[in-house]
Amino acid sequence: MQLSKPLILFGLLLCLIPAVGNAQCEPAVEVTFHQVSTDSYTVLLRSEQGSQTVDVMLHDLYLGKAVQSKRVSLSARETEVFTNVKPSLYTIYVKRDGCDEYRSLGSVTGIKIGQ
């Protein structure tokens, strides 16, 4: 059985659509943090893809739970997102509009804030 060229192209296109969709959900966000006092930090986020509104969650790996979460508008400038952050090991989760899942920022070992 021989398939027509348009049908083959349509099949290839269907295979590529999920890959393109997943790439759009990858966060292009840079994380920095600044010490405010001996035991308090602020976490700043910056978008590498222009302006975007995202849901973000700060998850403390030692406590095993989310300690702060919010919806923020990010831009190419640093935006203060989390305040009064205690020294610990964290993962920051980001979910872009139109995406079903949160994606993590930082390495597999987490983001160490403080001593």
Q: What is the pLDDT of residues 47-104, one digit of tens each?
A: 988 888 999 999 999 999 999 999 999 999 999 999 999 999 999 999 988 898 999 9
The answer as to whether 1 is a domain residue is no
Identify the bridge partners of residue 64 per DSSP, sorted by sequence position: none
The answer as to whether 4 is a domain residue is no
Range of the domain at 44: 27-113
pLDDT of residue 19: 41
The label of the residue with tokens 């406590």 reads 63
* Model confidence pTM above 0.85: no
The label of the residue with tokens 């049908």 reads 7
Q: State the burial class of residue 87 (Cβ atoms within 10 Å of its Cβ: 0-12, 13-18, 19+).
A: middle
The answer as to whether 13 is a domain residue is no
Into how many domains does the chain fold?
1
The label of the residue with tokens 């010490």 reads 35
* CATH number of domain containing 106: 2.60.40
Helix (H) or strand (E) holding 9: helix 5-25
